[in-house]
Amino acid sequence: MHLLEAWTTLGPLHLARLLALPGAMLVATLLPGRVLARGAALVGGAAVLLLVEMAVPWWIRAAWVATWLVLAWQAGLRDRPDLPASPARRRGFEAGAVALPLGLALLALMLAAVWRQTFQPEDARRASLGALLVGLGLLHLMMRRHVRRAALAMGSLGVGLELLTASARAADVAHEGAPAGTALLATVLATTIVARIAEGRERYAGSAFVSDAHELQD
C-alpha cells in the first residue's frame, strides 16, 4: 500500500505535474497523427522542465527539454510530397489489437515489481513514474507504425530510465552507478538512429510506415 499512498496523498497540481508526460504519451500512443504527436512532445518538454524528481543538474534537465523540442519537430514533419498517400490498412488495427494487451501486460509487470518494494513516498513516486514511462514507450513502439514518430517512444523510455537511475543512485551508497545524464545521451543516440531509419524507409520503401516496407514489388 506504500505506493498507492505515495500517489493519493498528492494534491491535484502535483498530480498534474507528474502525470502530464504519461498522459501525453498515452494519447499519442492510442491516437494517430503527426499533429497529435507534435503536441504530445511539446507537453513532454514542459513536463520534463518541471520534473524535479529526475534529480539531475539544471543543465541536464535543460538538455532534456531541448531534446523534447527536437522530438516535437521530428514527429511533426510532413511526409515528403512526392511519396504516395498511405491509406488506412486493416493490419494497423490488427497490430494494435495484439500490441495493446501485450504492452499493458508488460506495464503491469513493471509496476508490480515497483509495488513490491519498500520506498519512501518520493522514491516510490519516482520509481513508479519511471516504470510507467518505460512501459508507455514500449507500448508506443508496438502500437504506432510510423517510424519517424517512434522518436516519442525513445523520449519516454529515456525519461523513464533517467527516473529509475535516479532511484538507483539514491540507494547506491557506493556511488558506482551510472552518472546523471547517461539516459539522455542514450536517448539522443537512439532518436538519431530512428531519424536515419525513417529517412531510409521514405527513400527506399516509399513510406515511413513500417508495414509499407513489406509491400515493395520486384
pLDDT-derived band at 90 (thresholds 50, 70, 90) equals: very low
More confident residue, 39 or 181: 39
More confident residue, 117 or 15: 15
pLDDT-derived band at 11 (thresholds 50, 70, 90) equals: confident
pLDDT of residue 139: 85
The structural domains of the chain, with segments of one domain joined by +, span 2-215
For the residues of 27-74, what is the DSSP string, one character each?
HHHHS--HHHHHHHHHHHHHHHHT-GGG---HHHHHHHHHHHHHHHHH
Answer yes or no: are the C-beta atoms of 61 and 88 closer than 8 Å.
no
